[in-house]
Structure 1
Amino acid sequence: MQDRVGVREAADHMDRAVGQGIRPVAAAFLERQPMLVLGAADPVSGAVWASLLTGEPGFVRATGPGQISVAGGVRTGDPLATALHARDTPVGTIALDPRTRRRMRLNGRARPTSRGFAVEADQIFSNCPKYLQRRESYETVDREPTTARRNIELTPEQREFIGSSDTFFLATVHDDGADASHRGGNPGFVRATSPRELSWLDYPGNSMFLTLGNLAVDPRAGLLFLDWVSGAVLQLTGTARTEFDRDGERTVRFLVDEVVETPAASPLIWSAPEYSAANPDLAG
């Protein structure tokens, strides 16, 4: 994918930034986070999902130079609950802190533990704060997730919610592992063009092209949308492809196979967003 876009040489420095060790500053960052996003494929159906995990800061921590432990795991009924019961499950994780506009990705193999699960790292790297909206603070409230609603297509309300979103998370897979990444922009940057299809422009990033590279060899993907106030999460699984326009823009089109909406899935209430200055002007 780097060769096709013509950024192979420019991306070399980013490739060298990918490591397997967790530095002290990264370990400290992880322990401050109240949420973690996990991406993986269900071992039975093969469907790829992205899931939200939350907990008191410290529920994610580095337990070795190349390993993290997560206390608790995903909530009951989450599409990835089965995946975390097996050993050596390929997973991608992303810890994103809206307060500091920092993010860290760790991809590897998960195994169950007595307290949750652990991930042995294959890749560890940080990304720039581009397209990441700042949210200054959060509070934790006591609320229980209600029964998840499942469907094979989006409702009008869900399509409207997607169109108003400034952030979503994207899980992809390949032969040797999985990855979870972030996508952000001003509201309207991602659209549900029909009950079964979404689309968004692929904004210029760090030139690693992990997500688009994965989709080029395996179109399975999972999307996660979060309501930063109500705590509702919207999870989609399906397939995605990248279209290259003559003017150089790239559009990703996602076809929905299944939708899972869980009200009050997160106990976190985040403050209003301050949109990234890097977000393209949709009216332009």
Structure 2
Amino acid sequence: MLHTGEVAVQQRAGVRAPKMGSARVGADIPEVAAGFLAAQAVVVIAGDDASGDRWAGAVFGAPGFATAPDARTVDLRALPGEPLGGAFDNGAEIGMIAIEPATRRRMRVNGRAERDGEGLRVRTTQVYSNCPKYIQARETTGLFTDPPGPAVRGGALTTGQRELIAAADTFFIATGAEGVGLDASHRGGAPGFVTVHSGSRLSFPDYRGNAMYMTLGNLELDPRCGLLFWDFEGDRALHVTGTASTDWDADRAAAVPGAMRMVDVEVTGVVEVPGGQRLRWDFHDYSPANPALV
């Protein structure tokens, strides 16, 4: 069922009748989804820290670390690091996306998580798959063995962090709303599709998708968001928190190839974790759906 934010965005986007799009959303984990989850080495998560800041993070492990012991439970046999370390110790809302770039497949799970020993147990409320658009084909070749280094925190993006974002072809975004829960989503495009305007502001295009508008719908109700950028050539993880707003100016969108509208992010906090991107990757090719940048 759509919430008020999603309905508002669909109506403004010109969707004739509010709809759920092409994804089938339910609380149960289909058998095929459970098998897909068990084959993954990373699950990206959305969560809030103790101060209420929203972040996108990740949990890594050898395939098999994420399982579905029953139709409404996901077990992750590992814990997230900073900035979401400890965020689920007493139980909290969580959004998750399991993504397999090599096959351009992904599934999203939203629910409530609590710490279970050295892992998380998630009770599901929403489970659904997504289309393969804008996913760059990469294959994992194993985990880095060295542990992540200490987190480096800041209030704005440094020059090196701005360069990482400006060259990115992939990031993940965490959003949510009161009474709705949290959601973790993927965004992709040609390298350079994210524009960094300053140390405290960046923007990205919203491309044509499945017309569900879960991310933009959440932002209509709650502007808090978290972004996660990975250094696929190395091992850095860059976490950004702030607030986001959708710009519906048609002239601005028309100036960006493929953009239906633009999303602006005001950065309020940054956490960089050396070694926080735990997987080795081999690049295959860019998504054929990526609009060419001029």
Q: If the TM-score is normalised by the length of the shorter chain, which range does it land in?
A: over 0.9
Question: Whole-Å Cα distance in 2 between the matches of residues 54 and 246 of structure 1?
Answer: 40
1:181 aligned partner: 185
Q: In structure 2, what is the equivalent of residue 5 of structure 1?
A: 13
Q: Distance in 2 between matches of 1:56 and 1:13?
A: 33
Q: Which runs of 4+ in 1 moved over 4 A?
A: none
Q: Match of 2:162?
A: 159
Please say which of residues 195-204 and 243-252 is displaced more in the overlay. 243-252
Q: Deviations 1:159-187 (Å, cap 9, x if unpaired)? A: 11101110000000101210000000000
Q: Whole-Å Cα distance in 2 between the matches of residues 86 and 127 of structure 1?
A: 30
Equivalent residues of 1:40, 1:173 under 8 A apart? no
Q: Residues of 1 paired with 2:140 and 2:76: CA distance?
A: 23
Check 1:218–1:279 CA distance in 2 against 1; reply closer, same or farther (3 A cut).
Answer: same
2:63 to 57, 66, 76: 57
Among 254, 263, 269, which residue is 1:258 paired with?
Answer: 269
Distance verdict in 2 for CA 1:46–1:160, change over 3 Å: same
Q: Secondary structure at the match of 1:125?
A: strand
Q: In the superposition, relative to structure 1, how do residues 114 and 8 fare at CA in structure 2: closer, same or farther (>3 Å)?
A: farther
For the 8 Å contact 2:202–2:266, the answer to whether it is kept is yes
SS at match of 1:271: strand
Counterpart in the other structure of 1:25:
32
Evaluate the alpha carbon distance shift between residue 142 and residue 13 of structure 1 in structure 2; reply closer, same or farther with a 3 A threshold.
Answer: closer
Partner of 1:281: 292
SS in 2 for 1:269: strand
CA contact (8 A) 1:108 1:121 kept: yes
**1:219 corresponds to:** 223
1:205-255 CA-to-partner distances (Å, cap 9, x unmatched) read 111001000101100000000111312100000000000022563110001
8 Å CA contact 1:219–1:239 kept in 2: the answer is: yes
Shift, 1:146, TM fit:
1.1
Equivalents in 1 of 2:191, 2:21: separation in Å?
32
Check whether the contact 1:239–1:256 (CA below 8 A) recurs between aligned residues. yes
Alignment correspondent of 1:107: 110
TM-score, reference length from structure 1: 0.94
Unaligned runs of 5+ in 1: none
**Shift in Å, 1:13:** 4.5
Q: Which residue of 1 aligns with 2:80?
A: 74
Alignment-derived partner of residue 267 in structure 1: 278
Is the Cα–Cα contact under 8 Å of residues 159 and 191 in structure 1 kept in the other structure? no
Any unmatched runs of 5+ in structure 2?
1-8, 254-259
